[in-house]
Each structure stands twice: as structure tokens, then as C-alpha cells.
A = this chain, B = another copy of it.
Amino acid sequence: MPNKIPHIVIGRLPLYLRVLNRLHKEGKVYASSQELGKLLDISAAQIRKDLSHFGELGKRGTGYQIEFLIDELGKILNTDTIWKMAVVGAGDVGHALANYNGFVNRGFEVAAIFDCDPDKVGNQIGDLTIKDCSEMQAVVDQENIKIAVIATPAEAAQQVAEDLISTGVKAILNYAPIFLKVADDVHVEHIDPAVHLQKLSYYLE
């Protein structure tokens, strides 16, 4: 693809979307790349360059119309819909995700939660009943699930990833502290608190 947009650029778009939603909630109508840059610790030039991959999204002088840019970024990131997700692992992280209220209006919903421990299967977390891992394929098909979250211990994560991929899932958010080996057509994001903490420790002392 000649016009393939770098992953690193795609990775910044959700940050732009988040700050735009905040400004929108605060009643702001326009935002300049300078303002966004200051809020995000990213240079204004970088923001303009990133967004210019997707056409003329702002105007010189007035900047970006916030509601318009939120809509455009939603279309670009495919979050103008609701993606149903499966969570695998009904431990602390699984519970936290099933009860998380940070997904509202952002394109995602936990539709199913699985665990392989028979003692957990059948228990409720909010509106969800914990299902056995053996039901994964059936539930993924029935609920049209495209994204899965791995919230298992590190030792189980690679096998769970393979099981998920065999059901047709192509996008995985991994909370387990392990690097997952997957085929090139599967996308993995890793929630790794140490990476965030190391950004903080740089600034300390």
C-alpha cells in the first residue's frame, strides 16, 4: 500500500480524540494545534502533520472545529460503531474490565467473559455470566466478536491468544506481562503499566 499510514501516527489519534472529547465537554468549539499540543505534550507541527494524512481537517487561522474532528477521527478509527469484546480471564483484571465505565461512547463494550476455571464459570459479573473457555468459538460467532482482551496469568496467555485467534479474532488487547507471538495479520496491543511508570521515573529526581 503506497499510502499506508505509519502505526506510530495511528497510535496518536486516540490521544487526540480523547483530548478533543474533553474540550468538547468543556464547551469549546475550536482548538488550534498549539492548544492540543500543549495539552498533549506533542509539538503542534507533529499534530498538524499527523492529521494531514487524512485530508484537510482544519483551517489556517481558526484551527480545528472540535466536533467535526471528533467525528472524523471516529470514522478513521472505526469507533463510530460499537465493537463487542470478549474478555478471557475472570480474575481481578477481568472484573475490573467488566465493570469499567471508561468505554462509554468510545466504541467498545464487553460482551462476554470467559474463564477456564470451573469454579468461576457460571458466576455473575454485573450483567455478564462467566462462560467456560470451551464456549469461546460459539460465543464469538454468535456475538460477532472481533476484539478480545487477555486478562489471564502470564503462563496461560500465549495459549489463550492462539485459541482466540483460531476463533477468528484478529485484534487482542493483552494485559498479561508477556510478549505474545502471533501471525502478522493479528494486531496486539499490550497494557503494560511498567512502560507508563518508566515515563514517569524519567522525570523524577
Interface residues of A (CB under 8 A from B): 6-8, 10-11, 13-15, 17-18, 22, 41-43, 46, 76-79, 83, 85, 91-93, 95-97, 99-103, 106-108, 146-147, 149, 154, 170-173, 177, 179, 187, 189-205
* Contact A46/B108 with A102-B194, A103-B194, A191-B196 known, Cβ cut-off 8 Å: no
Q: Are A193 and B10 within 8 A (Cβ)?
A: no
- Most interface-central of A8, A146, A172, A199 (chain B CB within 10 A): A199
**8 closest residue pairs by CB, A with B:** A102-B177, A92-B96, A14-B198, A7-B41, A171-B200, A189-B196, A14-B195, A106-B194
C-alpha spacing A43/B4, complex, angstroms: 13
C-alpha spacing A75/B201, complex, angstroms: 10
A-B contacts, 9 listed (Cβ < 8 Å) = A7-B199, A13-B199, A78-B204, A83-B197, A83-B201, A103-B197, A107-B198, A173-B200, A187-B199
Instruction: Chain B residues near A147: list those with CB within 8 A.
Output: 197, 200-201, 204
- Most interface-central of A6, A13, A15, A179 (chain B CB within 10 A): A179
Instruction: Chain B residues near A14: list those with CB within 8 A.
Output: 194-196, 198-199
Q: Are B202 and A77 within 8 A (Cβ)?
A: yes
- Most interface-central of A6, A147, A187, A198 (chain B CB within 10 A): A198
**A173 CB contact (under 8 Å) in B83, B103, B197:** B197
C-alpha spacing A154/B99, complex, angstroms: 12
Give, as a whole number of angstroms, the nearest-CB distance from A84 to chain B.
Answer: 12
Q: Please give me the residue from chain B that is nearest to A93 by CB atom.
A: B96
Q: Are B189 and A197 within 8 A (Cβ)?
A: yes
Give, as a whole number of angstroms, the nearest-CB distance from A136 to chain B.
Answer: 18
